[in-house]
Structure 1
């Protein structure tokens, strides 16, 4: 029998308030309260339940009687004037799964559970209000359905048993137009040239491909999985210099090439372990452990379903760590988000695009829930805002972990069993890899809804526990995660050098009805694939059972050179591994760079000057600069007990830390610092300069807290717009070239990376919205002794303030220009010779105990940095002598890189200055007990004289949600 439990809040109805506020925001009205009068949550429960059973479920599992009331009733007997939101059949329901497991432990005869949300309102709604309420507020059509009135059993159907039928795809006789249509209609994301190669291959075989074969090729050849643009041939023309050059493999010749150059210089002192060869980069940490790091993107899914997209983005990168070597233990997470401003005008939203405030709230919740539930601290990140991220928000998720020094490498052996461990397989995530390789359009929400997954962090935590135990027991020889492409990607990659035979019917399923192809390409979450010697399978199976983790043998790795799939003894795919991994035609593209005139240092536009104090307050209150406390406080950054420097620091623990430091191995004093750099506004003017600044920012962030500049590894994440546009691709080439040049100069090897291309939106009328050229650089630094770490908050009055580094008249792309409306001016550029010397000097000063506080200069320049130091520490400052023959606005707000503000005790001043012999350093002021900030200009008049409370309020207010 089907029952429904409707649960209502006893006090404040916060869900109703949220819905009404969101409706009013989108409609510029105050009608939300009339349309939604109350809300409820609930469960649909199937089982032969007695009165005693239902009472136990209420009192022991499903209801909090202090704040809620609820009662059971047969399904369909109530909610006449209600709108019930249910997940669509096949969408993962972690809460329902957890409830089902809990009630079975109680011995209650429940066979199925579904969750719902319910909203009450008038029996009739105006059509326009109904459209906004249903489509944009109450539900996300990508994963949810709305039932008006009573829920019926028919709304809950999952699927019927699958009847096998081998499907082939007739393509041998198609013309070019037919090949293009086939690729588009089936979301294959393959170009005409690629489809022609596939066609030729099967013509040579004298047969048509099966649907599973074609899907496998599409997943393997997708931009998401093969990075075919950056690994392809690019003919590049630089109009600024008049030079042209050809890259056969841009990544290999720039980013990876830089790492090879650095490692060659290090020689026997090379501290890189595994770079660009596994799911994550690995470097040496101490005698017993290496440290691994990976940063991924999950952009397109997060645009369609923000919670699920971000949720599984973090879950996926955690599995990358578990699939590195023989398994790394995650110790902390990092995330960076790029959104359109949350106050964006709703009536300006393109068709099919969610409001950025809803996107932001969903993304933050998704990352929060996954990290917190897995018990992994989220310790570092950043959030940027720009109108151009409206249709394509960017969601970067990263994880750092430790791996024993003898477990850093893996090898699949012939005869090993292919074992799937973890979650069951469903329809969630079908075409996820190919979807992520396409541009978004106004139809993406409905066409690609199946590409979105929902994660279950509790399942992944159990999988993690099993993997780490099995690793230490030597129960497997290789491992990888089921990410983009599902089994097709995981098994295909692991067996690339050998071959594999897979029996698809062996995969545990969430429900009936999946075809063999859906099983093969599903991207259902929380699944790992292991290569297990047959003799060790019984022990692994027993271990999994002891931790309540499912494991199943899918097949065997074998030295056949072929990927063979069967379903119920029927061959459904038989592909040559060499063709699958090496047969894709080389992508050949043209790129060009023609810098805009104002990027060449053209004079800034002349506008009415704005008082420096007003500019400072405006920058502090800009969404990209202001406090992200609303986000940070939702994350658990203390779990595991290794957090040394937190994301918020200062006397009230509410100041912005430059980077975070964790102790990955408890019981030792060795730490890992994590920081990031990202400057898309600079890239509008000069992508080469922007990349250099991003690397510099990431490195100086970790240097500021105490990392050794000679042991900093970096990661690249390229997120770009329409790379079919030669000018957009040209900006990417310039960025990659800067990555090579600056990384080599700094001695910071790239150890891992990821690209996400075609982050562009094509509207109903062919209007196009590209994201800014966005490079995220993540830095992982080694801290010899965490007891020497410093934070950015000023510690006491009477100390000296120093400005380290050279300030230049570089206001191009700055936040000063952003808030004043100015344009033009020079873009900040790194001094690749001087910067490493400054980093070493700062590190030496910190190591000698000469530094009380250290803060890097980034958005807003000196004025913003010193203001943040003051209100974080609750100590004021008088700045009387900023160095340089520059305009006051440049001294205050230039964003020149490689600069720090440092607090030093008077008795340590001489020793501190000695660390910087021959380098730019200047004593600029003094800390004071009065709670205010004063900054003098060139004529000794106070340009800024403002209370710390005013500055802090400007900084905290914008996102105080």
Structure 2
């Protein structure tokens, strides 16, 4: 076999854009200020091709001849003539490590075969010529920018003549793990070194189980239990026995999750009676609610934090790919209709010299995460319509990546049930070493060694493969060719088959799994988290038709085994039994987590206010608008396709120039209907530093008011919880989590908003040793994301936040309170203390109901909720989004303030408040629709281009909206 190298360069006269980007990033990260670099990318093709054929492939397949040119040679024959300049003294290749998913290489290999001669193997690479750096600078450039050791290998100098095969077959060897005779210390050592991440009590439980069986476990049995019992898969902390204590109460939970969030939903559903609009909650891959007579809708939000910390692009890429598969595996399969995403990063201007070992720079993490989500969603043709980005220094070691997907499912396809003797059928992508130990790794704390120890836990996705699976899966669903479906996510086949067969039993023939390359052990096949795979339960008589259907669309379908009513999970490999576990032990045998939780509220001090002079108030407004958590996220939003599928009604950006921040997205999932779904989110990590109860309550209020602001009916909003917390073995950390869960229960019941799904990601801490050898830990702030899905009967009644017409009235609806604690005004002024915003649920019901009635009455031209930055920021955003000014008076604002100051009225972040634009002729109808909700007429939309705020006879603000907009757009205008 000949190993050909195809180098691809920018065509003559075209800019080397990758090189320019690297130079800019190297300067940003203070790696080098005089970097000389040129780049190429290309392919290594191992095949019996002659020179003419490989040149034909390069010209007609591999190169865009308009903007690129190719150079072809045998690998090992250095293409010295193509060294761009004598400025460069180093040549570096970067390529995926053997065994790491290389989607472009896979697609290329398939396309090469279409030219009549197949290639044995293909790998992609990037090639860099570097000059002007010493050895240490080169090493920093490679490790910080050019390559990620988790998934990529670096070759210095000309390409070696290495073969591209990724593995070779190995003789079968059944491995058993000596566990029965281990003492406690060695049980814990086995858990750590085997990347099982199980507690001592759990290891003792496994030990006892096999002692009673009179044998030691095989490696695959131990791995199966570890995957199933992982925090990621079993949510064992939230579902554990917890004794909670705070200053006012002591509570004892047998299952904290069921007794708070689940219980709230059950209570709401019971109160709805025959009008219950929940269909399936907390028991499938996504929560399902009613939509119309023909369809239901489902919603799921996942986290993919740890993988994204190690390999931002791949981690986020498979995060969105994985959550898209959740609706695909819900009921009998839903069609994904839109995506959401929320990210939490450390500030991108973080000093590179301050980074602990093993931590990627936030700017690199941010760019990788955004592009990973962008590429997967766009390539699958699914619009990304809603999201948010939060910044805090404490996300340095653990960025948070939340990805969500909404699916549309026929009413009669909303449930599934595996039948005895159904075939276990794997469809979609092939199995490789991607994501080994992904579920257990995601349940552990990160350290400075995680990148090298757990790099295999990062998967790389292929959106095109998943799109092919989606299309053929929905066709198979409509032909009734299977009885149940689920996705292969955390734990791979072990979790998918284990969960589907829980009530029956399953027999799996591991050698039947299609592999990406030879050499995988039976255990690697079983626990691999290779992407784009689904598992179906197929009646034997329908298998031939299903197999033919998948084959006709170029998607693989293979029988892996059978669901058999034995109550056991039996695993075989080429006729050898390699594992046998009782399903009851696997799913019900895990000992409950028993932990103490305490909450002691932090001591807070009164907040010292600045004076109410116009200069300081104007400076405050500009500083808040240009703070990272308020500033425009347009750089991210515009990378996403939010128009594909044609159902987008209210976009992420709105206004006269389509650059104002929308409160929520509105999408028509059924294009021949005017009915829409509304998507929004709420998150307030700052508030958690004061009280996680108030943080959770505020997040729910924010998510609901964002929905209501565009027109959603508050009587039919479903919410999802995603808890991302630190190390919950500490009673004080677990106490904050319990307190947030209590708020979720209380607010959901009071507002009639059921939780329909959720996910938690715990142990988000990063440990390292500083230069003195002292252990340091970076823990994320307690972070709760609330996602909301509302509905509107007619999308033509929806409103956006941008001001529309001079002369219209402006109203503030809701009560302003002395709640500057944790506010953005406090942050930009380095103020500590104060009262964090709380939620008055009785007031919230009045305000939400009144706003909805007013929008339905078509009295509202624009509506914007008050959140980060309070009234001043909300009106400023409305004004510059509409390209028109506003006159505001603080005199009559409804409040609960002893002696109201301009700072409080302008910058308090009290919940449940809105600013509405109302035509003069609609004012009486608007006020009547609000009913008992507090409100006040606070000003007018103006013809001028300024935001003018007065208090009595004093003008406090007179700010050109164009300058406010520039302050808002500048920080992330990359």
Task: Kindly indicate whether residue 319 of structure 2 is the aligned counterpart of residue 316 of structure 1.
Answer: no
| Counterpart Cα distance in 2 of 1:583 and 1:14 | 56
1:842 maps to which residue? 851
CA deviations 1:588-623 (Å, max 9, x no partner) are 01111001111xxx3114668871111111111111
Given the two structures, how large is their TM-score scaled by the length of structure 2? 0.97
| Counterpart Cα distance in 2 of 1:578 and 1:355 | 45
Q: Which of 12, 16, 25 does residue 22 from structure 1 map onto? A: 25
Shift of 1:917: 2.9
| Counterpart Cα distance in 2 of 1:543 and 1:934 | 65
Given the two structures, how large is their TM-score scaled by the length of structure 1? 0.98
| Counterpart Cα distance in 2 of 1:201 and 1:866 | 64
1:44 maps to which residue? 44
Counterparts of residues 638-787 of structure 1 (less than 5 Å) = 638-764=643-769, 765-787=774-796
2:562 maps to which residue? 556
Task: Kindly indicate whether residue 352 of structure 2 is the aligned counterpart of residue 338 of structure 1.
Answer: no
Contact 2:812/2:913, CA 8 A, preserved across alignment: yes
| Counterpart Cα distance in 2 of 1:758 and 1:65 | 50
Task: Kindly indicate whether residue 941 of structure 2 is the aligned counterpart of residue 927 of structure 1.
Answer: yes
1:925 aligns to what SS in structure 2? strand
Q: Which of 904, 907, 929 does residue 915 from structure 1 map onto? A: 929
Counterparts of residues 381-396 of structure 1 (less than 5 Å) = 381-396=387-402
| Counterpart Cα distance in 2 of 1:708 and 1:943 | 37
Aligned length: 951
2:159 maps to which residue? 151
Task: Kindly indicate whether residue 905 of structure 2 is the aligned counterpart of residue 891 of structure 1.
Answer: yes
Shift of 1:157: 4.3
Segments of structure 1 that go 5 or more residues without pairing to the other structure are none
Contact 1:19/1:32, CA 8 A, preserved across alignment: no
2:367 maps to which residue? 361
| Counterpart Cα distance in 1 of 2:510 and 2:532 | 18
| Counterpart Cα distance in 2 of 1:73 and 1:430 | 36
CA deviations 1:810-845 (Å, max 9, x no partner) are 000000001011111111001111101211110111
2:885 maps to which residue? 876
Contact 1:84/1:117, CA 8 A, preserved across alignment: yes
2:424 maps to which residue? 418
2:373 aligns to what SS in structure 1? helix
Contact 1:23/1:132, CA 8 A, preserved across alignment: no
| Counterpart Cα distance in 2 of 1:155 and 1:879 | 72
| Counterpart Cα distance in 2 of 1:162 and 1:878 | 77
CA deviations 1:107-147 (Å, max 9, x no partner) are 2432321110010024x953321220121111000000110
1:947 maps to which residue? 960
2:255 maps to which residue? 249
Contact 1:87/1:144, CA 8 A, preserved across alignment: yes
2:87 maps to which residue? none
| Counterpart Cα distance in 2 of 1:285 and 1:607 | 50
| Counterpart Cα distance in 2 of 1:57 and 1:798 | 65
1:934 aligns to what SS in structure 2? strand
| Counterpart Cα distance in 1 of 2:626 and 2:117 | 54
Counterparts of residues 140-219 of structure 1 (less than 5 Å) = 140-154=148-162, 156-219=164-227
CA deviations 1:512-570 (Å, max 9, x no partner) are 00000000000000000000000000000000001100010000001000000000000
1:926 aligns to what SS in structure 2? strand
2:816 aligns to what SS in structure 1? coil
CA deviations 1:462-520 (Å, max 9, x no partner) are 00011100100000000100000000000000000000000000000000000000000
| Counterpart Cα distance in 1 of 2:857 and 2:559 | 57
2:973 maps to which residue? 960
| Counterpart Cα distance in 2 of 1:861 and 1:60 | 57
Contact 1:49/1:109, CA 8 A, preserved across alignment: no
1:91 aligns to what SS in structure 2? coil
Aligned-residue CA RMSD (Å): 1.2
Task: Kindly indicate whether residue 597 of structure 2 is the aligned counterpart of residue 603 of structure 1.
Answer: no
Moved more, 468-477 or 73-82: 73-82
| Counterpart Cα distance in 1 of 2:842 and 2:56 | 70
Q: Which of 225, 228, 238 does residue 230 from structure 1 map onto? A: 238
Counterparts of residues 128-147 of structure 1 (less than 5 Å) = 128-147=136-155
| Counterpart Cα distance in 2 of 1:879 and 1:838 | 21
| Counterpart Cα distance in 1 of 2:123 and 2:835 | 58
2:918 maps to which residue? 904
| Counterpart Cα distance in 2 of 1:698 and 1:227 | 24
Segments of structure 2 that go 5 or more residues without pairing to the other structure are 81-89
Shift of 1:225: 0.2
Shift of 1:258: 0.4
1:115 maps to which residue? 124
| Counterpart Cα distance in 1 of 2:575 and 2:404 | 41
Task: Kindly indicate whether residue 454 of structure 2 is the aligned counterpart of residue 448 of structure 1.
Answer: yes
| Counterpart Cα distance in 2 of 1:52 and 1:542 | 37
1:12 aligns to what SS in structure 2? coil
1:879 aligns to what SS in structure 2? strand
Shift of 1:944: 1.2
Contact 2:165/2:517, CA 8 A, preserved across alignment: no
2:817 aligns to what SS in structure 1? coil
1:640 aligns to what SS in structure 2? coil
2:84 maps to which residue? none
| Counterpart Cα distance in 2 of 1:134 and 1:79 | 22
Shift of 1:934: 0.6
Contact 2:8/2:41, CA 8 A, preserved across alignment: yes
Task: Kindly indicate whether residue 380 of structure 2 is the aligned counterpart of residue 374 of structure 1.
Answer: yes
| Counterpart Cα distance in 2 of 1:626 and 1:677 | 16
Contact 1:79/1:149, CA 8 A, preserved across alignment: no
| Counterpart Cα distance in 1 of 2:973 and 2:163 | 40
Shift of 1:151: 1.2
CA deviations 1:82-104 (Å, max 9, x no partner) are 10001000000111111122222
1:5 maps to which residue? 6
2:85 maps to which residue? none
Moved more, 247-256 or 48-57: 48-57
Contact 1:422/1:550, CA 8 A, preserved across alignment: yes
Structure 2 vs 1, CA of residues 892 and 28 (structure 1 numbering), >3 Å: closer, same or farther?
A: farther
2:19 aligns to what SS in structure 1? helix
Task: Kindly indicate whether residue 499 of structure 2 is the aligned counterpart of residue 493 of structure 1.
Answer: yes
Task: Kindly indicate whether residue 796 of structure 2 is the aligned counterpart of residue 794 of structure 1.
Answer: no
Shift of 1:155: 6.5
| Counterpart Cα distance in 2 of 1:439 and 1:129 | 30
CA deviations 1:772-794 (Å, max 9, x no partner) are 01000000001110010100000
Shift of 1:28: 5.9
1:821 maps to which residue? 830
Contact 1:607/1:822, CA 8 A, preserved across alignment: no
1:767 aligns to what SS in structure 2? strand
| Counterpart Cα distance in 2 of 1:293 and 1:614 | 41
Contact 1:311/1:454, CA 8 A, preserved across alignment: yes
1:397 aligns to what SS in structure 2? strand
Contact 2:32/2:133, CA 8 A, preserved across alignment: no
| Counterpart Cα distance in 2 of 1:279 and 1:397 | 14
Shift of 1:62: 1.1
Q: Which of 434, 441, 446 does residue 435 from structure 1 map onto? A: 441
2:54 maps to which residue? 54
Shift of 1:274: 0.1
| Counterpart Cα distance in 2 of 1:230 and 1:545 | 43
1:612 maps to which residue? 617
CA deviations 1:734-775 (Å, max 9, x no partner) are 000000000111100000000000001111232111100100
Q: Which runs of 4+ in 1 moved over 4 A?
A: 605-610
Structure 2 vs 1, CA of residues 611 and 770 (structure 1 numbering), >3 Å: closer, same or farther?
A: same
Shift of 1:153: 3.2
Contact 2:95/2:125, CA 8 A, preserved across alignment: yes
